[in-house]
Structure 1
């Protein structure tokens, strides 16, 4: 391989790197130049090595086995390159990337053995050297000829403030930010597990975050079914147990991404429609009404799960995802976060004296810029565990207000939102409770109820697809291949089937808030999510202990949503880097899909349950009314359909418009085997890919 250039980058501190080259923090760029090119010795941990410009150099390797020095160009760095970190020892890591004259696509990557001693035979270049204290030194470029016919005078040292031939300083040339197929700055990517103690704490944070939606949905629906606090506690424990199982299966056999699987809020509309149907409202006995309603909901969810499993494992969803371009993915991912705005500040405002301080504390701790100077050295601990710190402070504050009698004379709704002792979970939850299939009896089936539930599952598939893209981004993985998303949809269907069998009122979806937590902590490790699944199962069985954490007031959780949903929305905006924003076609598709994604659901949501029990839809078929309402009340569904139809119909076959949509960047990810990095992130364990290959 002919070496074209070497790029030197600063890498941040964390374990997992076998480093060969270091530069003392006190050395400046001049000494870097002299010692590297004039035969000087580099200070190293493992002996001294004289690095002359014509001799062979040894590249370092990550613990995962792939060479961090020659994976790809800067904008296409491989998975293991993002994992390379150095220990906290005051050294500056010299990360080397070799770019061939062919651009070094992944088909041109040589084997590891040939990279262990690569002769620098052509152009050498060093750029962007930083001091470990994050104080940026002036970047410089050294271009030298090692074995060419260029004269020695061709070796030039250029700084940012370069002079022209007349000695006048040239104006600095600004370049646009490079396209990043993998998000840089992630401390631990999908395959890079943090140390066990840290992973356990991070997993516990993800568990705490799942309690919000897990408690919210049963708290809304169980009272309508005639159930009391005992039934609500059992449904919450069952939902948490099934979420733990589904999360573990998804991370092991599904997309293999660090995605948490929870109950979907989208199913609330068809579930509520079933609860309010005449065949259940006429039952007078509350216990009998609860059991009969639960069995009807279970039957609809089980049929819906079979539909979802077929869509996923038969590859039908793979064909849908292949129509997506970076342009049409933007509204899908963005509205996966923005579309849940009603769970954010509107829920926080139900107890503003608790929720607003929690929001301020959470932002203050999670964003290092607000921390005092003496805490900057422990920035990673503060922002990485900011959810745990802020929830503890907010919870203690709410407990103090409750114990001092502040809410004793407040209205019932205020007490339910603000008090820490009104959920009834701690009092009614059993010490040990093991959920089991069909614990409420044999499910019953109704065709109309099933159709409405299937529409909700279709909406949740779009929302989960957007969450999968955001999770892959914040896990520093490559864009998810369509076959992997389809595989994940199949396992989401299995999770929905478990929900129907155990009786937890709703289907499954990929958790949006937990995807946002990946961005906040900069830890996208699969192991952390599997640990959180263990916490879900453990605390669902030990009911009293789980009920303690589930009694956290919802406004505190809503304050977390305000930040974490925003992270997911920003992941969608990140895909705009692949698109041509100077194209009027791009502007129209993007703007129109965003406007309709906000406007149409607002129209349906504003009048839902106002004019009639089905809002603006007044057909003679109740299940058809529910289908239309579920689809058009989803911000993600509306925006995705508008963007997908426009992107596919507006001259997509033209090469220029394909580039405007960013398809030329994503073509290599449309097939599983077209990029070597896919195996690193999405391959099934135990060589199951040989029996279940991804296309």
Structure 2
């Protein structure tokens, strides 16, 4: 029995030894197959990993990257300044061309200048005369603010005009229920004076944050990664004013959109390429053609018998606006009477001012990019915000019924024309002031059908959104941290305002609904701005997630912008200022 046990144990040992040898053989064979598969699929070996790590160190240290083989695709190098811009900030085009380009900027900013008073003045109780006067005032103040911003503020070619952000708190003032005047004109003036008081108080927020340097400390932490959602949704977030505006009168808006794309993107390369005539003046050409076409439809009776809403969108004979405008009128402060002040309304308007501050920061970044300027130093952004606060103060003093911010559509026009000259924008400010004083002539241009304006928005808002996406070239898109911050912030920037807007449309008030109306507005207004939500979320995540990691700094692209924090680190920073 003992011999049998020894024999069995030897057999078991031999079997176990044979099993282990077999397993080791197959493991080695699998390793060989895996290495071969890696080579077949293009995976890096250890030597390739070391080689690429050396290249990354050279690139981070400012050294030149090794020359790529002819068969390998070469990535596009990041550019601190946007190339292929014909005229940058300090290099103006010839005077005749500059005047035409300035007039084109004036035409583009007319859309918002007309749409906002058209929506607000009737709700206030005003008629055509009051509407024309508010448009004149808004145009006059926009000209002043544009000059102040281009001379003393950021000194960028940024047009400063009306803002949709201030519409919600203004409507809240209209619906406050404390206006019991039977005379609509008297009611209009009282509401306008209340709006003036709220704007005057709210302007102090931007003035203090800007001129004290507090906003400089905030923007110092802005990186290319956190700028992408902010700038992108400054443009893309206004999609509701694009094609929905075109669809209000498809027979007018769609031809404008098609012709604008053809003139700016196709004809410029087919007829006299290199002259930059059709793309640079595409707005003037297409607006003139479609405006004449729409006028022929109006005169021919195409809209006779149509619903009033269709006629308001399609017809070109806005006799009420032209007849209501005076021949010559100079807007002046307190033209509606002394402003009235309410603490709740002032706090609500102050929150709208803060939202406008964030949106304008993104718009300033886009303007600097399309003007071929270097990334803006935080001190310049802070100074621009301070002067924008002065602009809101002027809006309150003159009584525009609306605040002011950087015009997003005019920022997109810089991309279309490839002209970022400061002189062009200053000339456009001259047109604003001139036509605001000559009311009849200004009213003629203000009668451009809204679908034409919507078609222009489709292109210009898209340009600004694409400008924001362009900052991804400074970020590491292979980083999961980058993907999370980018995707999460953009998604919330679209989803959260969608919920707030849908809730308001159905219920008639926002999700936050208490007895304190001013508190409701302070909470509801910011969450209705797509750029604000996306920018705040991206900024918070980018400055709190794994910030101490050395690789994170490179992944977020911060090292690309650090050299532009002050004038001493890069001589090009002195150019735009």
Smaller-chain TM-score bracket: 0.7 to 0.9
In our comparison, the structure showing a higher alpha carbon Rg is 2
| Equivalent-residue separation in structure 1 for 2:407 and 2:164 (angstroms) | 10
RMSD of aligned Cα (Å): 1.6
| Equivalent-residue separation in structure 2 for 1:629 and 1:403 (angstroms) | 45
| Equivalent-residue separation in structure 1 for 2:355 and 2:368 (angstroms) | 20
SS in 2 for 1:509: strand
Match of 2:256 among 342, 358, 365: 358
Matched, 1:540 2:436: yes
Q: Which residue of 2 aligns with 1:669?
A: 564
In terms of mean alpha carbon deviation, does 173-182 or 582-591 score higher? 173-182
Q: Which residue of 1 aligns with 2:394?
A: 498
Matched, 1:597 2:493: yes
| Equivalent-residue separation in structure 1 for 2:439 and 2:63 (angstroms) | 55
SS in 2 for 1:390: helix
Q: Which residue of 1 aligns with 2:194?
A: 296
Match of 2:573 among 650, 654, 678: 678
Match of 1:347 among 239, 245, 251: 245
Matched, 1:227 2:126: yes
CA drift of 1:324 comes to 1.0
Matched, 1:412 2:311: no
Matched, 1:180 2:79: yes
Match of 1:571 among 437, 455, 467: 467
CA drift of 1:667 comes to 1.1
| Cα deviations by residue, 1:272-320 (Å, 9 ceiling, x for unpaired) | 000111112x221111101111100000000011221111100111111
Between structures 1 and 2, the one with greater strand share: 1
| Equivalent-residue separation in structure 2 for 1:586 and 1:336 (angstroms) | 20
Q: Which has the higher contact order (CA 8 A, sep 6+)?
A: 2
The answer as to whether partners of 1:617 and 1:625 remain within 8 angstroms in 2 is: yes
Matched, 1:473 2:473: no
Give the unaligned 5+ runs of structure 2. 1-60
Q: Which residue of 1 aligns with 2:89?
A: 190
| Equivalent-residue separation in structure 1 for 2:268 and 2:306 (angstroms) | 36
| Equivalent-residue separation in structure 2 for 1:307 and 1:258 (angstroms) | 24
| Equivalent-residue separation in structure 2 for 1:364 and 1:241 (angstroms) | 33
Matched, 1:624 2:553: no
Q: Which residue of 2 aligns with 1:199?
A: 98
SS in 2 for 1:251: helix
> How many residue pairs are counted as aligned between the two chains?
515
CA drift of 1:422 comes to 3.0
Q: Which residue of 2 aligns with 1:123?
A: none
Please give the TM-score of this superposition, normalised by the length of structure 2: 0.87
Matched, 1:209 2:105: no
Q: How does 1:636-675 map to 2 (within 5 A)?
A: 636-675=531-570
Stretches of 4+ moved more than 3 A in 1?
102-105, 370-373, 376-379
| Equivalent-residue separation in structure 1 for 2:360 and 2:483 (angstroms) | 25
CA distance 1:650–1:550, shift in 2 (3 Å): same
CA drift of 1:609 comes to 4.0
The answer as to whether partners of 1:207 and 1:532 remain within 8 angstroms in 2 is: yes
Matched, 1:243 2:142: yes
| Equivalent-residue separation in structure 1 for 2:419 and 2:63 (angstroms) | 29
The answer as to whether partners of 2:213 and 2:379 remain within 8 angstroms in 1 is: yes
| Equivalent-residue separation in structure 1 for 2:296 and 2:253 (angstroms) | 14
The answer as to whether partners of 1:580 and 1:662 remain within 8 angstroms in 2 is: yes
| Equivalent-residue separation in structure 1 for 2:516 and 2:355 (angstroms) | 20
| Cα deviations by residue, 1:477-530 (Å, 9 ceiling, x for unpaired) | 000111101100011011111100000011110010000000000000000000
| Equivalent-residue separation in structure 2 for 1:671 and 1:340 (angstroms) | 33
Matched, 1:482 2:378: yes
Matched, 1:322 2:217: no
Q: Which residue of 1 aligns with 2:478?
A: 582
CA distance 1:494–1:104, shift in 2 (3 Å): farther
Match of 1:526 among 401, 422, 433: 422
Q: Which residue of 2 aligns with 1:446?
A: 342
SS in 2 for 1:215: helix
CA drift of 1:323 comes to 1.6
CA drift of 1:210 comes to 0.8
| Equivalent-residue separation in structure 1 for 2:319 and 2:236 (angstroms) | 28
Give the unaligned 5+ runs of structure 1. 1-101, 106-140, 142-159, 161-169, 683-695
Match of 1:558 among 437, 451, 454: 454
The answer as to whether partners of 2:138 and 2:400 remain within 8 angstroms in 1 is: yes
| Equivalent-residue separation in structure 2 for 1:473 and 1:575 (angstroms) | 10
CA drift of 1:325 comes to 0.7
CA distance 1:177–1:423, shift in 2 (3 Å): farther
The answer as to whether partners of 1:483 and 1:672 remain within 8 angstroms in 2 is: no
Match of 2:283 among 380, 383, 387: 387
The answer as to whether partners of 1:658 and 1:664 remain within 8 angstroms in 2 is: yes
CA drift of 1:378 comes to 6.0
Match of 2:510 among 604, 615, 624: 615
Q: Which residue of 2 aligns with 1:112?
A: none
SS in 2 for 1:262: strand
| Equivalent-residue separation in structure 2 for 1:519 and 1:527 (angstroms) | 16
| Cα deviations by residue, 1:236-261 (Å, 9 ceiling, x for unpaired) | 00000000000001000000000000
The answer as to whether partners of 2:327 and 2:440 remain within 8 angstroms in 1 is: yes
The answer as to whether partners of 1:614 and 1:629 remain within 8 angstroms in 2 is: no
Q: Which residue of 1 aligns with 2:234?
A: 336
CA distance 1:516–1:372, shift in 2 (3 Å): closer
| Cα deviations by residue, 1:364-412 (Å, 9 ceiling, x for unpaired) | 00013x5674x13365011000010000011001101100011111100
CA drift of 1:211 comes to 0.5
The answer as to whether partners of 1:218 and 1:232 remain within 8 angstroms in 2 is: yes
Q: Which residue of 2 aligns with 1:461?
A: 357
| Equivalent-residue separation in structure 1 for 2:576 and 2:295 (angstroms) | 43
| Cα deviations by residue, 1:152-208 (Å, 9 ceiling, x for unpaired) | xxxxxxxx9xxxxxxxxx752322111100000000001110000000000000000
CA distance 1:317–1:404, shift in 2 (3 Å): same
| Equivalent-residue separation in structure 2 for 1:331 and 1:424 (angstroms) | 42
| Equivalent-residue separation in structure 2 for 1:558 and 1:509 (angstroms) | 19
The answer as to whether partners of 2:268 and 2:277 remain within 8 angstroms in 1 is: no
| Cα deviations by residue, 1:538-590 (Å, 9 ceiling, x for unpaired) | 00000011111000001101100000100000100110011000000000000
